[in-house]
Each structure stands twice: as structure tokens, then as C-alpha cells.
Amino acid sequence: MSVASLRRAAKESVSGLPREFWWLWASTLVNRLGAFVATYMALYLTLERGYSASYAGLVAALHGLGGVVSALGAGVMADRLGRRPTLLIAQTSTALSVALLGFMEHPAAIAAVACLVGMTSNASRPAVQAMMADIVRPEDRLRAFSLNYWAINLGFAISAAAAGLIAEYSYLAGFVGEAALTLVCAVLVFVKLPESRPERSAAAAKGEPGISLGTVLRDGRFMGVVGLSFLISLIFMQGSVGLPVAMGLDGWSPSDYGLVIAANGVLIVALQIPVTRFIEHRDPQRLLVISALLAGYGFGLTAFAGSIGVYVLTVCVWTLAEIVNSPTQMGLVVRFSPVHGRGRYQGVYTMSWSAAALIAPLMAGYVIDRFGAEWLWGSCAVIGTVAALGYWLLMRGLPEAAPDPDRAPLPAPAPEAETSAVPATSETAPAAPAPAPAPAAAQGRPGTA
């Protein structure tokens, strides 16, 4: 491919997205540059503090429990209070709690504050995802989610290797550094991001029933997506909870783990955009099935790793699964979410990751301590197979996505306003009744990304 072709592809990948999206993207990048706790908590507890893998798993599970508790509440806040206030509260609270965690010494105090960190850090996710859906045109969302995921991993690729060196010098410096960068994100949100929550007219509000958490939980197909997301998350979480513990027990250092896991971020930075261009108009059912199998068997191959090179090879396999799964599944979630209930739907979806963050460490700690790491990697292969079958069954007969006609008002003219009106003939009828009879909900739910 020529340089001109590469330039043209890069320009097409980033063009047409609103300015507000790029400020949200920048805040994501800055936040991930300081991602120390989620990556190095297990090593901090087992190597620095001398606790067992089971205790490290318990603390990580409490971190996940905090996320489960906050996901639903944050989703409701994003719909009622607004995306921007929710982000400000969540990010400021995260900075304070992460800094506090670095100074905790008693096992019970570490566990309690880790739960608080999980609660505050997870609270921003429903608001970020809902805001992105608000401000980006439906036809651009897969690309936007991919670019946001690219920012997450660009920051992670840089921070993972750097944090490994920081951990060998001072774990406390890592906690304080993450707190500082999270505060920078809060300032960026406050200064640059306007509120994006869609507003309903008084007449529409009277004629449409509200969307509650019960509405979301009764949505069978959406909850199927949530359940499959939990299985996939259970696998991917092992990269930050099972893998560092297993490598530490085999004698590898924190910097060795940092080198291995940095391959995940580097590959996503290198491949996310070209792979997204390749899969953008392909069958989402097939993409999700393939990604589930790659995730399961990619981690399964870790049972045979005996060198840094083989560890990196296994990371390459399940990283490809991440690249395909994340934007495809996020697009599916947005299509299933009514416009005025996006916060709640995103909160329930985020809860699947939080629940996996609760279960995955317990699973990893118990299996490694009781049976050995090889059994953990074999379990990942089984879970990936089950998830692939689930995606195939869930998406059979799913109609094509209908364009989303309801866009959030922005303070400045947005380019997507010119394309928000869609001819009636282009809409696709829903496969099943939507939980709320609002026209926006009916059009926003039936399709796929």
C-alpha cells in the first residue's frame, strides 16, 4: 500500500466526527495513561505485600463489586442528572480514592478502599458511552467506538511498560500518578465537554411512559447481550488478574509482565483502525462468534507458554478478539438502547463487565491455588466456546439496523444534523416489541452495529 493510500485511509478513519467526540476521546486517552491500579494491583498485593493469590483475587473481586454497585446508579444519574455532571463526580471521586488506596496498609483497609475505587472508577463508563452515542451519527458509531477503544489502548500501551518500571521503584508513585491524571480528565470534561443528554418536549414526555431499570431488565434480547458480554469479559479480565499472578508464581518479574501485556495495547494501537475498516460492513453475528472463539482459545494457549515470546504470541491471539469484539458489541448495545434510556441501558451493560471483574479474580485465585494455572486457561477456552454459541443463537434472524433519527442537541452546529433526517423507507421494523412505545426506542433497538 502506498503512502498516499495510507494517508487517505487515515483521513477517512477520523473525518466527519464532531469536535465534542474528540474532547471525549482526549479525556479517555489521558485517563488510560494513568491506568496503574487495574494493571498492577495483583502484583502489588502478591509481590510487594506478600499476600496470597486468593487474597489478591478477593481484593480484585471487591473492586469489581464496587463497579457492580455503581453501574446501575451511574446509568440512572446519566439519564436524570446528565452525562457531564456524572463524569465530573465520578472522575473526581476516582482520583481521591486511588490516591487514598496507595497509603492503605491494613488488609481490611486495602480491601475496603479497593471496593471504593471500583465504585468510583466504574461510574464514569455509562456516561461516556451514552455521551458518545448522543453526539455521533449512527453510521459513524462503529468507527467512533473503535477510535475510543484505540485511545484506551494507546494510553495502556504507554502506561503498561512505564508502570512496570515505576512498580519496581515505587508502587505508591503509581497510585499517586493515576490520581493526578484522573484529575486532569475531570478538568478536561468540565472545560471542554457540553451536556449531550437528549431532551424530550413536554408533549412527548406526557405521551410516553418513562424508561426504568425494570424496562431494561425485562428486555430479553438486550439481557442476552449483557449475559454474553459477561462471559467474554470473564475471559478478558484474566489478562489483568490471572496472567500476572500466574507469571509471578512462575518467577517472572513485574517488568516481564509489563512487556507481555504491553503487546496487547501496541497491537490494538497498530491494528484497531485498519481492522475496523475491514469489518465495518461485515456480518456482526459472524464477527462476534469468531471473536469469542479467539478470546477463549487465545487464553487457552497460555497453558503452553514457557517463554516471553510464547506469552506474547498468546496475547496477540486474544488481542485480535478484543479488536473485533469491542466496537461490534458496543454498536449492538447502542442499537438496542432507546434514546432517552441510554444511560440506564449502558449502566446495565457496564454491569456485565463489573460483574466479571467481581467473579474473574475469585475464579483465577481459586483455580490457580487449588488446581494450577493450566486449569484456568482451559476454562477460558470452554467459556469462549459457550459464548460463541450464544452469539450465534442470539443473533439469528436479527434484522438490519435502522438509522437513529433522534440526535442530541449540541451548543454549536454539528455536521450530523444534516443527515439526521432519514427517509421513512429506510427504516427497519423491530423484531420484537420495544419495552417503551416511544418512536425513538422502537427505531433504536432492532438492528445491529
- In three-state form (DSSP H/G/I as H, E/B as E, the rest C), the secondary structure along 88-138 is HHHHHHHHHHHHHHCCCCCHHHHHHHHHHHHHHHHCHHHHHHHHHHHHCCH
Residue 268, C-beta contacts closer than 8 angstroms, at least 6 positions apart: 149, 150, 153, 154, 157, 319, 322, 323
- 350, part of any domain: yes
- 5, part of any domain: no
Environment class of residue 96 by beta-carbon count within 10 Å: exposed (0-12), middle (13-18) or buried (19+)?
A: middle
Burial 260-297 (b: 16+ CB within 10 A, else e): bbbbbbbbbbebbbebbeebbeeebbebbbbbbbbbbb
Q: In this structure, which amino acid lies at residue 293?
A: L
Residue 287 belongs to what H/E stretch?
A: helix 284-300
pLDDT of residue 446: 30
- 104, part of any domain: yes
- 410, part of any domain: no
pLDDT of residue 10: 61
- 411, part of any domain: no
CATH code of the domain covering residue 122: 1.20.1250.20
The answer to whether the CB of 260 falls within 8 A of the CB of 308 is: yes
CB atoms within 10 A of CB 73: 15
pLDDT of residue 439: 32
- 1, part of any domain: no
Task: Find how far residue 349's CA is from the centre of its chain.
Answer: 10
Count up the domains in the chain and report the number: 1
Nearest CA to 160 out of 269, 290, 275, 254 is that of 254
In whole angstroms, give the CA distance from residue 303 to residue 313. Answer: 12
pLDDT of residue 429: 37
In whole angstroms, give the CA distance from residue 262 to residue 312. Answer: 9
pLDDT along the chain (449 residues), means of 10: 59 77 85 70 79 80 81 83 88 90 88 89 84 83 82 74 72 84 86 79 51 80 90 91 85 82 81 80 86 94 88 93 87 80 84 82 85 91 95 77 46 40 36 37 31
Environment class of residue 357 by beta-carbon count within 10 Å: exposed (0-12), middle (13-18) or buried (19+)?
A: buried
Q: Which residue range forms the structural domain that includes residue 375? A: 18-194+213-402+428-444
In whole angstroms, give the CA distance from residue 32 to residue 162. Answer: 12
pLDDT of residue 434: 38
In whole angstroms, give the CA distance from residue 119 to residue 101. Answer: 13
In whole angstroms, give the CA distance from residue 235 to residue 319. Answer: 12
pLDDT of residue 234: 93
Global confidence as pTM: 0.67
The answer to whether the CB of 127 falls within 8 A of the CB of 74 is: yes
- 279, part of any domain: yes
In whole angstroms, give the CA distance from residue 91 to residue 181. Answer: 10
DSSP string, 372-403: -HHHHHHHHHHHHHHHHHHHHHHTTTPPPPPP
Phi first, then psi: give them for residue 160, nearest 5 degrees.
-60, -50
pLDDT of residue 3: 57
Residue 326, C-beta contacts closer than 8 angstroms, at least 6 positions apart: 145, 146, 149
303 three-class SS: helix
Nearest CA to 297 out of 393, 377, 386 is that of 377
- 12, part of any domain: no
DSSP string, 242-266: HHHHHHHHTT--HHHHHHHHHHHHH
pLDDT of residue 398: 66
